[in-house]
Structures are given as C-alpha cells and as structure tokens.
Amino acid sequence: MRQRRQDNIGISNLKSDELVHNSFVEMMFFICLAIFGLKMHFHGGISSLDHVEEELMVHNVSQHVSQQQRKKPHRQRYIPCEVPFIDSVNYLREPMDNNKFAHFYLGYAEREERISQNDTFEAHFGGHQTLEERDKSYHARSQTIHCGFVSGPDGFPGTGFELDEKDKKYMSTCSVAVSSCIFGSSDFLRRPTSKVISEYSKKNVCFVMFVDEQTLVKLSAEGNVPDDKGNIGLWKIVLVRNLPYEDMRKTGKVPKFLSHRLFPSSRYSIWLDSKLRLNADPMLIIEYFLWRTVSEYAISNHYSRHCVWEEVLQNKRLNKYNHTAIDEQFSFYQSDGLIKFDPSDPKILLPSFVPEGSFIIRAHTPMSNLFSCLWFNEVDRFTSRDQLSFAYTYLKLKRLNPDKQFYLHMFKDCERRAVTKLFHHRMDN
Ligand SMILES: *[C@@H]1O[C@H](CO)[C@@H](O)[C@H](O)[C@H]1NC(C)=O
Ligand SMILES: *[C@@H]1O[C@H](CO)[C@@H](O)[C@H](O)[C@H]1NC(C)=O
Ligand SMILES: *[C@@H]1O[C@H](CO)[C@@H](O)[C@H](O)[C@H]1NC(C)=O
C-alpha cells in the first residue's frame, strides 16, 4: 500500500487525461473491482437490515485511525477503489464555461395565494404544484417552477426551514459549499478529516452542517459546543427552526437537494449524509467527479441494487415506509414511463436505476438545478425514499428534452467509499 501511495504522488504531476490512462492505476482499480465483486458475492444475501446498516463494516470508530485504516487490510465488505485525484489543489484548472451545458433561466415559486376562499388551504413548504404544472416543469426551458421554500399568503404561518439572517448572509457568500444535516438528533457529528483538506479549501469552501434545536442541544450536552463563530471543527453549524415536515427524512431532503437555493451564489456543491465523514479535499473531489468527466451532476450507483422493482421490494421488506404510499408512487411511475433496468440494453441511459444518494457532487448549472428541483418535488409529493424517484425523474427529464443534454455522471459506489468514511447512524433514539 505504501508503494501505491508513492506511485500516486509520482504520477500526479501529469495532466488529468494522462492520469486516467495510467495503467498502474487501472490495474489497481481492476484488482479492487475484483475484490469488490467477490465480497458482494459472499455477502449479497443479507437483507434483514437497513440498506444503510447493511453495507456497513464493523470496525472500531476512532478519530485517529483513519490513516492507518487505509493501509491495513480492510475488514469491511465493500472496499473502496482507487480514486486518482490530482496531487494538489495548486494544479486545479476550472474548465472554461463552455456551451456544452444547456443554458436557460430558472425562476422559483416563492409565494402561493389561496385559490378559493375556503378554510381548508394550508401553506406548504413545497407548495401545491398541480400535476399539470409538474409536467410543464420537466421541460428544460426558461420558466418558474416549484422548488421548495414556497410561502403562503399574508397572515399564514411560515412554511418552515427558517434560518437566522446572519446565517443566510454567510451562505449567500459561498461559491463552493459542502453541506450535510442532522435532524431529530439522528446522528453523531462527523467532522471532515481536517488534515486531508487543503488550506485553499479551508479558506474558500463553506462547510455547513444544518441541525435542528433538538440536535444542537444533544450535541452540546455531549461536549460538541459551537465556538464563537458557530463552528465545530470545519463545520459551520446552522440552526434550522420550524422543520417543514414531520418526517425528518423528508426534511433532510431540503438541504440534500436544494443546495442551489440555500447557497444562491454557489457554483458547486457537495452533499454528504451525516453517516459519512468527508475524507478528501472538496476541490479535488469536484475536479475528479465533475471537471474531469465534463459532468454537471455526479452521484454514485447503489452497491447492489440496480432496478427500482428490487428497491421497492427491499423498502417494503425493511418496512422503510408506509407500503400503500410506496405502491401509489410506484404505480404512478410505471404508468408514466418507468421501466425495469435492463443491463443488456445497449441504449441504457444509466449504469444503474438505483442511486446511493448519500454523496452528491453538483455544478449549479440550469440543468443540474432543474433536476434537483424535480427530484425534490417527487419526494415532496410522494415518499421520502428518494431511491424510488431518481430514475423516474431522470428518465422523464431525458424523454421530454431530446434536444438538451443533461450530463449526469453515475460513478461507482467504491469511489464514494474512497472519499468518504461510513459510520453507523446513531442508535440510541
Ligand atoms: C476502540 O479503540 C480504542 C483505542 O484504540 C479502545 O480504547 C476502545 O476500547 C476500542 N473500542 C472497541 C469497542 O473496541
Ligand atoms: C378548498 O380549496 C381547495 C383548493 O382550492 C379545493 O381543492 C377544495 O376542494 C376546497 N374545499 C371546499 C370544501 O370547498
Ligand atoms: C399510508 O399511506 C396512505 C396513502 O398515502 C394513507 O392513506 C394512509 O393513511 C397511510 N397510513 C399510515 C399508517 O400512515
């Protein structure tokens, strides 16, 4: 392993396209793949656990062992693969804004008036998008669409996700944002691995952890108290008041999908679930997953499931959500174009129809923002299980916009494992 690290440093001064073709890296990659495949074969049958816990390795969680663990033989079932980052942020060159990515203007519905003067109207964070508006919103063209943060008419209570003005002001200055959230005290705080993060990124990237009051109280009680600037380690802690949904998982989809709204002047963002620790430099991540692949949206595939049909069964088996609601969503999707994943189809649009959405890298281009809004709206309308709506949203967007490309890069789950470290969710609640 030591050998491998040195080799990496040795090749890192090459241009990125030469890097990709480096045969040594490729060889390591295929060895890792082979091991990965083997492990899957041995452990593919476990189904009694949450998909999150299912993939988890059992090992001692300690802040100081992360470097050693990269060198020691891995005990986890799914092994990270080699991610050939460039050596240093000093070699970063942002690609020129070319005309490859679609250009159009997206506006966002901010306020809704009640349509009729009856008393049943309730203001909702996601608004009241009609099915007709929903269909229109899938067209990639200049228009105003629903994308969360919709307020009701005057006199109605706020629809939630309220932030302090000073936090909003700070967030509006970010040009690159890394964010995560913990709501309902569902997790521990995992600080990004500071020593792998460049001074450049520490200075220029915003690291924001959204929490609710309950989580903040719990973290403080455990000794994680934000400093004078509101930081815990690299994380800037941002308190969210008045959560928009009773379902915490649904609330978690607000920062997950809507980073372009929360960080309105940001050009790039990285999302990671609270179960993950960021273990690589965010700018190197952006270079590797977006710039080098000329993509505007990058997400990993699921480590074992590729078909939404399987995902539906698994969600029900693990009782992840109200079965009736899953069925309603699934049958709606089937009646509107969702097909089974067929790996033998030469025209297949994605390597998998099921994502592992715990780690997402985005350029905030119009198409990428549109996809994020559309996916969020599916979660708002149906279930919070976003693995169920990903392929539908993507396929419908492609189908309705044959003349506009959406450069989505679906990378391998083992690459996600190489740049983030996976932990158990908090168990004590
Ligand atoms: C984890 O490691 C630390 C120090 O390396 C040790 O003190 C602790 O007992 C270990 N915990 C478990 C659960 O093995
Ligand atoms: C109240 O208004 C909503 C939305 O316009 C409508 O769907 C509903 O049928 C109305 N209810 C009554 C009792 O009029
Ligand atoms: C399950 O979902 C259905 C359809 O959305 C709803 O009518 C029902 O009340 C839900 N059941 C529970 C227990 O929440």
Q: 319-342 pLDDT, tens per residue?
A: 888 999 999 999 999 999 899 999
Mean pLDDT of 356-377: 97
DSSP reduced 3-state for 298:
strand
CA within 13 Å, CB half, 419: 29
Q: Is the CB of 120 under 6 A from ligand 2?
A: yes
Alpha-carbon torsion, ordered 253, 259, 261, 262, to 10 deg:
90
**Hunting for tokens 């005057």 — which residue is that?**
154
Residue 271: Cβ within 10 Å count: 22
The pLDDT assigned to 34 comes to: 44
324 CB within 6 A, ligand 3 = yes
CA of 99 to the centre of ligand 2 (A): 46
Length of the chain: 429
Hey, which of 60, 61, 63, 75 would you mutate to test ligand 1's pocket, going by the most ligand atoms within 8 Å of its Cβ? 60
Whether the CB of 117 sits within 6 Å of ligand 2: no
User: Total structural domains in the chain?
Assistant: 1
Residue 77 pLDDT level (bands cut at 50, 70, 90): low
User: Is residue 11 situated within a structural domain?
Assistant: no
Q: Which of 116, 121, 156 to mutate to test the pocket of ligand 2 (most atoms within 8 A of CB)?
A: 116
pLDDT at 49 over 80: no
Q: What is the DSSP string of 22-89?
A: -HHHHHHHHHHHHHHHHHHHHHTT--SS-HHHHT-------GGGHHHHHHSPP-SSS--------S-G
**Four-CA torsion 390, 392, 397, 403, nearest 10 degrees:** 110
Q: What are phi and psi of 132, to 5 degrees?
A: -65, -45
Higher-scoring residue by pLDDT: 95, 74? 95
**Dist. CA 152 → ligand 2 center (Å):** 16
Whole-angstrom Cα Rg for the chain: 21
Mean pLDDT of the chain, nearest integer: 84
Distance 336 CA to ligand 3 centre (A): 22
The residue whose CA has the least distance to atom 11 of ligand 3 is 322
Q: What is the mean pLDDT of residues 341-360?
A: 94
- Lowest-confidence region among 46-50, 109-113, 268-272: 46-50
Better-predicted residue by pLDDT, 368 or 67: 368
Contact predicate 315/321, CB 8 Å: yes
For residues 110-138, average pLDDT: 89
Q: Is residue 68 part of a domain?
A: no
Q: Please tell me what DSSP assigns to residue 425.
A: P
Q: At what angle do helices 323-335 and 308-317 cross, to 10 degrees?
A: 170
Q: Which residue has the higher pLDDT, 100 or 51?
A: 100
Q: Is residue 11's pLDDT more than 90?
A: no
Q: How far is the CA of 124 from the centre of ligand 2 (A)?
A: 15
Q: Higher pLDDT residue, 21 or 381?
A: 381
What does the alpha-carbon distance between residue 236 and residue 222 come to, in Å, rounded to a whole number?
17
| In a domain? residue 267 | yes
302 inside domain? yes
Q: Is the CB of 115 under 6 A from ligand 2?
A: yes
Does residue 113 line the site of ligand 2, with CB under 6 A? no
Confidence check: pLDDT of 60 > 60: no
Tell me the pLDDT band of 159, cut-offs 50, 70 and 90: very high
Best mutation site among 115, 118, 122 for ligand 2 pocket (most ligand atoms within 8 Å of CB): 118
Range with the poorest average pLDDT among 56-70, 135-149, 280-294: 56-70
- Cα of 323 vs centre of ligand 3, distance in Å, is 8
6: its two tokens = 């040195």
Residue nearest to atom 5 of ligand 3 (CA): 325
Would you say the CB of residue 31 lies under 6 angstroms from ligand 3?
Answer: no
Measured in angstroms, how far is the CA atom of residue 321 from the centroid of ligand 2? 28
Residue 164, C-beta contacts closer than 8 angstroms, at least 6 positions apart: 238, 239
Structure confidence at residue 115 (pLDDT): 72
Average pLDDT over residues 174-200: 96
Question: In testing the pocket of ligand 3, which one of 315, 324, 330, 384 has its CB within 8 Å of the most ligand atoms?
Answer: 324
Pair 242, 131: CB distance under 8 Å: no
pLDDT at 334: 97
Say if 66 falls within a structural domain. no
Which of 1-5, 98-102, 196-200 has the largest mean confidence?
Answer: 196-200
Per-residue pLDDT tens digits for 237-250: 999 999 999 999 99
Residue 383 lies in a domain: yes
| Residue 272 pLDDT | 97
CA of 58 to the centre of ligand 1 (A): 13
What phi, psi does 302 have (nearest 5°)? -75, 145
Whole-number Å distance, alpha carbon 60 to ligand 1 midpoint, is 6
Closest CA to 423 of 212, 244, 182, 224: 182
Domain holding 389, by residue range, is 91-428
Per DSSP, what are the bridge partners of residue 208?
179, 236
- Domain-located, residue 331: yes
Cβ(359)–Cβ(269) below 8 Å: no
Per-residue pLDDT band for 36 (boundaries 50, 70, 90) equals very low
CA–centroid distance, 261 to ligand 2, in Å, is: 30
Rounded distance from Cα 133 to ligand 2 centre (Å) = 18
Q: What CA–CA distance (Å, rounded) separates 246 from 233?
A: 30
Q: How far apart are CA 252 and CA 249, in angstroms?
A: 5
Distance separating alpha carbons of residues 106 and 245, to the nearest angstrom = 25
* Res. 98 pLDDT band, cuts 50 70 90: low
Q: Is 296 within a domain?
A: yes
Cα of 109 vs centre of ligand 2, distance in Å, is 21
Name 321's Cβ contacts closer than 8 Å, sequence gap at least 6: 315, 383, 384, 385
Measured from the Cβ of residue 404, the count of other Cβ atoms closer than 10 Å reads 18
Phi/psi zone of residue 245: left (φ > 0), alpha (ψ -120 to 50 degrees), beta?
beta
| Ligand 3 pocket, residue 323 CB under 6 Å | no
The pocket around ligand 1, CB under 6 angstroms, is made up of 60, 62
